Structure 1
């Protein structure tokens, strides 16, 4: 029987092979991919006995197999969800205290297994009446729908063209191990294309309402009519909110059913702003949704406000507190592989313009990888999946957070695999070739041949151990990292699976795993944590003493000697699955739990104290007491305080069109800001650097704390230049602050636009340009640092230059401008600091007397550079980097600042870098490298970036990108398979590589370097310092304790599409204890939410108060007033 004939007819899913070729080629090449590597911070060691043991069907009697085969029109090309698989439900159907198992099968009958104890199960499907023989079954959800104290379940159906075979099924428990299907009676026999449902009491009237997650039928659209396509509606696509009115469900209008939003995951949480929160994970071009219950019967989508970006092809999701800060964090799964070969076979070209189209039609930023959203406690999340080591698990489905080893931190299980990978680039090439041949011969291709050429993905599932506090961050907070313990814990067998659930099947306290496999028997992983006596558990049974009570959304907080944990009761987890049993809480080796707080959905609560481990708590709602709510004023350290109306407006250009293989764009670099008193009135004034086409601006502060523009015409005359940086100093020794402006840009080709400028001050804040006082130059600059290098009493200038326009990563020479005492400068770098003339792509520099000899030294940082310590020896700067820092300090350094943070009388350093939340896990032995030259002789530099995956360095560029950059490679790599395993030495011949230049980066972490008198040692910063690139740092005593604290900001959003936005830094405050030990101040306390590309932080005094000025690329200037920190 053709399952999908009517689907094909009614929804125009193309069955003719030539149309399928175009659809799937264009979809897969149009959608935008991103890569990252799978790593962990802890190397697992094998154990004598695995934590998990796969139980054979001969022991469990579980014989269910979700067998899905392609036959005729029933195939992946006609129905994109053909191999999405089935779900799992684990719940106690007969109240015997044992968790039973229900599997959904797509085209096969569902199965119900009765738990008989000792991991033995009996198939009672037939007698229970729950086989659901017809239709295409997807997700399953548990809930006490009729509130009789017995658990019912709801089965979703999809795919079928006949809507009667899509109607969802509600199985009401008859209390005798049988069920009656009563979906139509309750009003829940929805005929849409359903994936999963979630029961919860959204209107708090005491009964279970339901959210139904429907999906649309994906279809191809060209980008030029994407906006109209997104506005298309379909009643059977729409997700719906059903309200329970006295046992009869009425479906609300739901979200409009849009053809590009096949939704695949749903999760409920009560914690965010203490209201119900729904996470809806979407597939294909559409964005994810994060709905907040506004408690008036409506929901508000806050995904853009709450997150910087999301997964592109979101599948399963889960929410749990991964770092024990009592805040729920979110994971969504995607399709990014972890091996180089799979990455290359999943990656086409990197089309930034198409990504911009998605942004313009209003979709949220998306990248193809798993996303781990860390809750900041202020309604926002920082995405740290790559930092945590869980971003790359291939084509993934169920994500389940559970404490499998019982150490008090939630681990992560990921199911994955796909029967037919129709996005494989080699397969897409095969279809194109077949189509061309068909057009030439007039003979239609063989459909069976096409289908047989689609490869399968069977990489194995993943089991990640939460490292707790065991990671590199020794500041006392959780490490926010996971290690791959799949093999160590006994889950290494490779198979394809979809739905999964965990539950304590043998009542020993630890969570076991149930897996719904594809085209093989489903099975159970038994957890041996209790048997191995490595951990203790506490169980919380919320249901048994509360028959009929909607307990969905109940929170449990567990407090032990040195740990706090949050659990939420939400049956829908992972993918198409549900679990409704006691909560298992691991507490490590503790024997007594200090206290447990149970918070019911209406916020009433009850407390338990001094609880022995390996026991069960059965709370009764009737014993709960109301929560006392005491209004508390906002105690944020910073509060918004607008003082200036100025916005940064850079030209909207695409640097990747100039150099295809750039790692990121370089045209979006500002705005930098500098402050000083230019008119000697005792008030700080402000200079802001403008991009090309927008003049820089000088603002004079008045006595009322306001600002007035000054010297407008002067700076307007120079607006053709892009001003990268500036500095105030007394150039002509007349006692006032003059201004030096550094110009530069990546795409500019007009030499005059690179000329730096010196403006002389008349002492009253009136400036005059002095073009003859500085050398003529045409360099793209980055920084100007005043210092008296020769000790003659006047101020000289170091000018650090960045790059040659359009020739990344080639760098121009830097300059050292020596002052003649009259404000006239000449470049004498060859005699003053010859090691700096060709140092590389300089980004920042800091002048200081490092060795306390009375002479000013200089520290210089840059991209692909080692940190350079230049010690002043009789007016000449000598490179002493090795003495002070040792070897292997090359990085992607952006900024440097120095203060005496530990109050020992010398200057310590903080150096901003790219951070560790990216695909590149680097070290001295495994650096990122950049090999470049003009390989094909076309006058353009060809930069090839490589990084290590599984111990081998591979090029980052996909085959399409490599061939697009260097044309002669087309004859070497005729297909994707040949390129998929190629290293740079395989791509180019020895002769072609002989005269290349190689750059490397061995450190990407932002560093705190403590000065020990004659050398620096690294000290840890809070892990938040590594969330994103750090571009600006500011030191200030924020809590009035006499110690200098720091604020770090940055982010990088103008990047390669496959790399994705690095936007997890919200402006992080680190408090100093006076000894150089820093602690993170949560965003909910700091009050900062800097979610864009921040390029400058600067404190100024306004009417006696400290105000933080924030410069962000392509945004308005922000300002925050510094308040008092309430401990």
Structure 2
């Protein structure tokens, strides 16, 4: 069809104007009639210093309480009465825009609950009469009668449409008088009625750090722990019984429950629980045990197996499928700010010793930031090891029923939202992908470092008999947090990322909100938002995606034909356009709030859904096809059929068995005490693996590198494939050194495989003799002895070794990479070439150092790995070298010396934190391509040529120590990563320049140091952190980022192998960093992923499910790979 030019212009203009309109419109209380204000005022007796949850705020519940088809709203007030608003929206006869309006019917309905401190609110049809009831949690008060939770049973609506309620919690057995945050009704035992989980919290005296934490963690505390009430009556006549003691719940005095999510996390048809805990206690993932016998626990806490870490101060949470793979993912909120100023004002010193004390006491690793726990399957099948030993490595394999999660919050772009409360994942714009709404803010920031310094100063004054500030004066000094909420749009692609679209979508005013809920308030098909605001009018955000953006939604109204049926836990899959969307009806979401209503699926651009699968809590199911989108879907339960079987997850092509006989001894050291500002600890670097046939039987044998004070170990592979540990006295004699890398090669030309071992590590002094590399000669049968005087004295901290014939004299020379000078990071010494000189004075082999000019590597290169291959096909082996703060370097062999050809071979701006590489012909075109492992994209550090991460280092204060200051970009400007306490601990004169935290909060590196001081230092840069496939195109490497699953964590090991025998080399990755700075947190989202390769195009295939810091991968044969995990057993992976 052709349009006239003016008409076409008008159509384009109209489309642009629709796109530019905000998605949400904030409505005033005058427009809506909602005028609830949660007023909370401090005084000397009632304040946040005495009760840290003083400003946690109230909740909001949305649901149809009078069965008129419209969503009503109920707010809880901490110190003010709750309020109920009936939806009286006015609909236009001609299909015009509905006018939202609500009436306050609190008094008539009888649900004000003026007494006590109210927190969370939950809606459910508790007595199965077809009318929603209200359950209100209470806390704070010392009088237990004022803490009893309230159950308002719906007496149905009168002639005016107003429902009335009767409080009957004690009668039903659920007037819990603990300190309650929220509650959730769900059918945990699948007997057809609703049970109740009550989320409770402990008291301030148990919130801090003490030596008793380990003891308190294991002691039961019925008073502070959460509760599970089983409905032992019937659906219509419930009678709740407290079964907490035998249910498997974690009930101790350290439980500070702030968030609850109910979902079938492992797809077995049984509802599980995710509990967010504040302070020291980690979150709980309580997996429902389907075959639990009477008297046995119904839940098992699998948080340590299912996740690598959790949020530290976990608050609100939600569960939804963010990447449309039909698996539920988990988000938890914390307090990490988005701005540099707020980060600095909330950051003290990095207390690694305290962190380790908590780990030793049995606590799970935790970090202060939002987490997006992406469901990544269930890992590999574990099998018995070969041989007689049954030695197993703990926590390395997922249990068969336990889901695995990778925290990708930083990669997703949603990790930093400051002091956050509610997380609500839903499709707000109708594009078929779950977006994210976050409420934010705190009335008084008692964690502000400058405020804490002020309180300490005033306390010292009081102790010295001086006039000090009063409590009221201290409270007045306490700053607030006026950050406002966030809206993130799901980018809806393979990047797994969200975009902060808060302002563009209409949230232009910062409000301090706590509880929040979503509902289609005006029945136009999209989801509106409501939030309970601290000391201000509650907000209503009207979604205009249908009116202004022509969005389309499919509404699935489960309750329409099933008003008295228990529907919580119903699952719905919607298929359209080759994509699946998945939701589970679980109304309790976010923080202290409840969104009870029809499910909505974004269907913009689709007139029909290809099919809709519904599975009810009793496992009945129905499949509907060609479902129209424009009209609500009202499925009929009577048409469902029994016996739905949850499909078994397709297993990955792995089986795993630990290799008996050896476990790497965990290193017990703290590199941060040597150098305060290290990015992470370097002492935890093994075990690297080397393979070779040392006894000539045709089988690949293995050397596993040992840490300091544990010898490396040799495994001989038997004819049946079993690996047998061999004790080698020469290795034992050198166990004081730390093995960084090793390589088998024929050093002396006698036809067998000798062994070169690189010494290195951080827990040594520069020049320590234990840093000397070692050469062990093979007797031809797999027996090794140390070759004396074969190597020149180097005593440098090495990183890698590559055998290659540099000078074409038919024997093997060596490239040896060096990493750093211990205690002086990032200073390094030159890597070097060792030329095989033939026989030495004693008749053994002798190696001499080539001149430095033969190896054009930078003097400050922190080399991590290298590989040799004939890149330019001239018959001589060339080198590719990677390292930290450097670009991959291509060194072409010119006959005994190398020339730097990096500029000719490599694209620009490839400086990164490269850890490893491998060379192979991945695209099957006859030349060598490269894959290099980098730091990844799942961290606070983002690098690009325009905004690099930089390291400026030197001895700025003349104390003989290297001062490494890393800077990174935050919201467009480069700042030091170090907190004020860390910076002052490194450079003493900064104490005078920054006497308080406020001055430091916005300081750049040029504010820390004068130009004359900075000129003493050197600068390193990283411009990309992506792990990358470099395709060789006629002598030039072209960069292709590896799939996003390869960017979840730093990559330290790569193994190419054709596991599926299609002629293309596939790729296995290993990585993670557990020993990071406390604020950086663990990078542990990688579970040894496997990537299919088709002519250089990589696609994620499956995770092996191996946890921990993987540092070594070695192929044993066509189908088996050995995996070296730091501090664990060697694992044998069979790819099927």
Q: TM-score, normalised by structure 1?
A: 0.93
CA apart distance, 1:368: 0.3
CA contact (8 A) 1:650 1:692 kept: no
> CA separation of 1:436/1:641 partners in 2, compared to 1, >3 Å: closer, same or farther?
closer
Which residue of 2 is the match for residue 132 of structure 1? 113
Tell me if structure 2 keeps the 8 A contact 1:86–1:139.
yes
Contact 1:54 1:524 in 2 (8 A): yes
Distance in structure 2 (CA, Å) of the matches to 1:757 and 1:634: 46
After TM superposition, give the deviation of residue 260 of structure 1 in Å: 2.6
- Residue in 2 aligned with 1:292? 287
1:107 is aligned to 2:94: no
Equivalent in the alignment of 1:19: none
Q: Does 1:1081 align with 2:1101?
A: yes
Distance (whole Å) between structure 2 residues aligned to residue 690 and residue 325 of structure 1: 41
> Conserved in 1, the CA contact under 8 Å of 2:907 and 2:1039?
no
> Aligned with 1:173: secondary structure?
strand
Please give the secondary structure, in 2, of the residue aligned with 1:820.
Answer: strand
- Alpha-carbon RMSD: 1.7
Residue 824 of structure 1 pairs with residue 829 of structure 2: no
SS in 2 for 1:356: helix
1:352 aligns with 2:357: no
Q: Deviations over 1:971-1004 (max 9, x none)?
A: 1111100000000100111111111011111111
> Which one of 918, 921, 929 corresponds to residue 908 of structure 1?
929
**Superposition deviation, residue 229 in structure 1:** 3.9
- SS at 1:436 equivalent: helix
CA contact (8 A) 2:333 2:421 kept: yes
Alpha-carbon distance change, 634 to 1018 in structure 1, aligned in 2, over 3 angstroms:
closer
Summarize deviations over 1:830-853 as a string: whole Å, max 9, x none. Answer: 2421x1262511000010111112
How far apart are the structure 2 equivalents of 1:828 and 1:793?
A: 17
Instruction: Give the Cα separation in 1 of the matches to 2:657 and 2:209.
Output: 45
Return the alpha-carbon distance in structure 1 between the equivalents of residues 826 and 701 of structure 2: 36
**Among 444, 448, 452, the residue aligned to 2:472:** 448
Q: Choose which of 996, 1006, 1009 in structure 1 pairs with 2:1027.
A: 1006
Quote how far apart the aligned CAs of 1:46 are: 11
Give yes or no for contact 2:867–2:918 (8 Å, CA) kept in 1.
Answer: yes
Q: Say whether 1:683 aligns with 2:699.
A: yes
DSSP-derived class of the 1:109 partner = coil
Write the distance in 1 (CA, Å) between the matches of 2:198 and 2:121. Answer: 11
Alignment partner for residue 761 of structure 1, among 771, 775, 778? 778
1:752 to 2:746 alignment: no
Matched, 1:894 2:915: yes
Counterpart-to-counterpart distance in 2, 1:168 and 1:112: 17
Aligned residues between the structures: 1063
- Structure 2 equivalent of residue 1070 of structure 1: 1091
Alpha-carbon shift at residue 613 of structure 1 (Å)? 1.5
Contact 2:1059–2:1119 (CA under 8 A) maintained in structure 1: no
Distance 1:814 1:371, change over 3 A: same
Alignment of 1:639-654 (within 5 A): 639-654=655-670
Residue 9 of structure 1: aligned partner: none
Q: How big is the shift at 1:273? A: 3.6
Match of 2:569 in 1: 553
Alignment partner of 2:244: what SS? coil
> C-alpha distance in 2, partners of 1:332/1:636?
28
Contact 2:706 2:713 survives alignment (8 Å)? yes
1:79-94 alignment runs, 5 A limit: 79-94=51-66
In the alignment, structure 1 residue 237 sits paired with structure 2 residue 258? no
Distance in 2 of aligned mates of 1:979 and 1:305: 40
Deviation at 1:641, TM superposition (A): 3.1
Partner of 1:459: 483
Cα displacement string for residues 49-98 of structure 1 (whole angstroms, at most 9, x for unaligned residues): 10000011111011111111112301111111110000010000111111
How far has the Cα of 1:1099 moved from its partner?
1.4
- The CA deviation at 1:631 is 8.9
**Are 1:333 and 2:333 counterparts?**
yes
Greater Cα shift, 973-982 or 768-777: 768-777
Mapped to 2, the partners of 1:707 and 1:540 lie a distance apart of 57
**Is the Cα–Cα contact under 8 Å of residues 1027 and 1041 in structure 2 kept in the other structure?**
no
CA distance in 2, matches of 1:1060, 1:635: 30
User: How much does 1:441 deviate?
Assistant: 2.3
Distance in 2 separating the partners of 1:45 and 1:1020 = 36
- Contact 2:1071/2:1110 (<8 A) preserved: yes
Cα gap change, 1:1064 to 1:1016, in 2 (>3 Å): same
CA spacing shift, 1:76–1:751, aligned 2, 3 Å: same
Q: Which residue of 1 aligns with 2:624?
A: 608
Query: C-alpha deviations, 1:397-446, integer Å up to 9, x for none?
Result: 00000101110000000001000110000000000110111122255631
Alpha-carbon distance, 1:592 to partner: 1.6
Q: Select 1:774's aligned residue among 778, 791, 812.
A: 791
Q: Give the whole-Å Cα distance in 2 for the aligned partners of 1:368 and 1:708.
A: 44
Seen in structure 2, the aligned counterparts of structure 1 residues 861 and 259 have a Cα distance that, compared at 3 Å, is same
Asked if structure 2 preserves the Cα contact closer than 8 Å seen for 1:817 and 1:829, the reply is: no
1:363 aligns with 2:366: no
- The TM-score normalised by the length of structure 2 is 0.92
Alignment of 1:807-822 (within 5 A): 807-822=824-839
| Structure-1 separation of matches of 2:531 and 2:648 | 47
Q: 1:693 aligns with which of 681, 706, 709?
A: 709
Deviations 1:725-774 (A, max 9, x none): 11111122222211111111212126220111112223222323223222
Task: Tell me if structure 1 keeps the 8 A contact 2:619–2:644.
Answer: no
3-state SS, counterpart of residue 119 of structure 2: strand
Structure 1 partner of 2:1013? 992
Is 1:1100 paired with 2:1087?
no
Equivalent pair of 2:19/2:549 in contact (CA under 8 Å): no
Name stretches of at least 5 consecutive residues in structure 2 with no aligned partner: 1-15, 90-98, 158-162, 379-402, 840-844
1:70 maps to which residue? 42
Match of 1:862 in 2: 883
Quote the Cα distance in structure 2 between the aligned partners of 1:571 and 1:631: 25
- Map residues 933-952 of structure 1 onto 2, 5 A cutoff: 933-952=954-973
Cα distance in 2 between the residues matched to 1:505 and 1:958: 45
Q: Which moved more, 1:718-727 or 1:313-322?
A: 718-727
Partner residue in 1 for 2:4: none
Is 1:267 matched up with 2:256? no
Segment drifting more, 877-886 vs 248-257:
248-257
Match of 1:312 in 2: 312
Cα drift, residue 350 of structure 1: 0.3
Mapped partners of 2:790, 2:743: distance in 1: 16
- SS of 1:797's equivalent in the other structure is strand
Which secondary structure state, in structure 1, belongs to the residue aligned with residue 515 of structure 2?
strand
Please give the secondary structure, in 1, of the residue aligned with 2:457: helix
- Residue 737 (1) aligns with residue 759 (2): no
**Equivalent position of 2:529 in the other structure:** 513
Alignment of 1:163-178 (within 5 A): 163-176=144-157, 177-178=163-164
Question: For the residues of structure 1 that align with 2:858 and 2:610, how far apart are their CA atoms?
Answer: 63
Query: How far 1:886 sits from its partner (Å)?
Result: 2.8
Partners in 2 of 1:660 and 1:181 — Cα distance? 58
Answer yes or no: is the 8 Å Cα contact 1:929–1:946 preserved in 2. yes
- Deviation, 1:815, is 1.0
- Pairwise CA distance, 1:492: 2.4
Gaps of 5+ in 1: 1-43, 470-477
Aligned to 2:189: 203
**CA separation in 2, counterparts of 1:1120 and 1:70?**
60
Deviates more, 1:606-615 or 1:953-962: 606-615
Distance (Å, rounded) in 2 between the aligned partners of 1:45 and 1:754: 67
Distance 1:662 1:184, change over 3 A: same
Find the aligned partners of 1:383 and 1:929 in 2 and give their Cα distance: 26
Give distance in 1, aligned partners of 2:894 and 2:870: 12
C-alpha distance in structure 1 between counterparts of 2:210 and 2:222, whole Å: 24
Q: Which has the larger displacement, 942-951 or 540-549?
A: 540-549
The counterpart of 2:999, out of the listed 978, 991, 1012, is 978
CA-CA distance at 1:701 after TM superposition: 2.2
Q: 1:1015 to 1:170 in 2, by over 3 A?
A: same
Q: Distance in 2 between matches of 1:421 and 1:622?
A: 54
Q: Kindly state the Cα deviation for residue 622 of structure 1 after the two structures are TM-superposed.
A: 1.9
- Deviations 1:151-180 (Å, cap 9, x if unpaired)? 111011111111111111111111111111
Q: Which residue of 2 aligns with 1:661?
A: 677
1:426 correspondence with 2:398: no
Query: CA, structure 1 residues 553+630, in 2 after alignment: closer, same or farther (shift >3 Å)?
Result: closer
**8 A contact 1:891–1:1001 mirrored in 2:** yes
